[in-house]
Amino acid sequence: MSYSEAKALKALTEISDPLADIDIVAAGRLADLNFTDGVLQAVLQIPPPEVEKFFPIREAAQTALAALDGVDKAAVILSAHKSAPSIGGKPKRKGNPHQPRRPEGYQGDSQIGRIIAISSAKGGVGKSTLAVNLAAAMAKSGQKIGLLDADIHGPSVPMLLGLSGQMAKTTTQQERRLIMPLEAHGIKAMSIGFLTPDDGPIVWRGPMVQGAISRMLWDVDWGALDTLIIDMPPGTGDAQLGLAQDIKPAGAVIVSTPQDLALLDARKGVAMFRKVDIPVLGLIENMAVFTCPDCGNSHHIFGSGGAQREAEKMNIPYLGAAPLNMDIRLSSDAGIPVAISDNAVADIFTELAAKI
């Protein structure tokens, strides 16, 4: 017989949690469950001081999983490095079985007016740069703005805001320990880059990524915000779909370059948000035109007008275009969003932010 995730979960529910009068699944210990080529791996999230109590639990879980049909080898890993997503439990959840569970008590996002997702199904289209400059333009207009960097594997917001190397601190709100966002250019920001002390790669699977981002929403002391911008990770897989379902933004903005390959992925992004009933506020065409600083001639390096035509086909608003511009590149490298400047390029982001 073939492997069944339902049977694997059932097997784990037969194992009691040593710290609570419930099973390890209901207790939220299961951070990841992955089956590949006959190998079943489970990650159990545990509190660091109690690690010895979980050694027998690991052995019991490994034995139970190894006995399942279709499983050639089982490996159970104890992890104390992240807050655990909950699978199942009571009350029973529908939809994504790896859906993170909100903690009890004060919620860090309780005073956020609205959430807007900036998304691109394709990487390398300048989504993060646009997200930072849109947030800066909104803050410049007088709004209270937050920015959540949801790209766990490649966080770039710290560099774009000039906050590289800085680590977040904690505070207490209504008896809950919360993470304090860092602030720059009138923006409250949170990124996995503020929680990890080095430049090493973060190798997490989808459910762990989803749980970490949800925690950066709930467990961060955002305070009162008019708008929280979420710089979504690229792609339209389970992690992105799960995030859209869990966070449920008020709307999403799709970023694409004019080229056909990027627009093909943009269509996938629009379809993903429509699938989970999140309004698509419109499409922004990035790197639309390059103006040579020496001769003044304009060049449509990635094609011309493709994004506007595609927006009309998908029946979504075309919000406008941002150029491939030397000022944007230099300001991004310097950690100073060009949108806070007083020039023609900054005006572009002001107009885009107003439309959003």
pLDDT tens-digit profile, the chain (356 residues): 788 888 888 899 899 988 888 888 878 788 888 888 888 988 888 887 777 888 899 899 999 999 999 999 898 888 764 443 433 433 334 444 445 567 778 888 889 999 999 988 767 788 899 999 999 999 999 999 999 998 877 789 999 999 998 988 989 888 888 989 999 999 999 998 888 765 554 444 455 566 677 778 888 999 999 999 999 887 666 666 767 777 788 999 998 887 666 677 778 888 888 888 889 999 999 887 677 767 766 666 666 666 788 888 888 999 998 888 888 889 999 999 999 999 999 999 999 999 99
The pLDDT score that the predictor gives to residue 208 is 56
Q: How far apart are the first and last CA of the chain?
A: 52
The pLDDT score that the predictor gives to residue 347 is 95
The pLDDT score that the predictor gives to residue 319 is 94
Q: Phi/psi of residue 281, each to 5°?
A: -75, -25
Tell me the two tokens of residue 124. Answer: 């390398």
For the chain, list the domains and their CATH numbers. 5-79 (3.30.300.130), 112-355 (3.40.50.300)
Q: Please, what is the Cα angle at 269 between 82 and 145, to 5 degrees?
A: 60
The pLDDT score that the predictor gives to residue 94 is 42
- How many CA atoms lie less than 13 Å away from 252 in the CB half-sphere? 30
Question: Do 65 and 11 touch, CB atoms closer than 8 A?
Answer: yes
- How many CA atoms lie less than 13 Å away from 138 in the CB half-sphere? 23
CA 102 to chain centre: 16
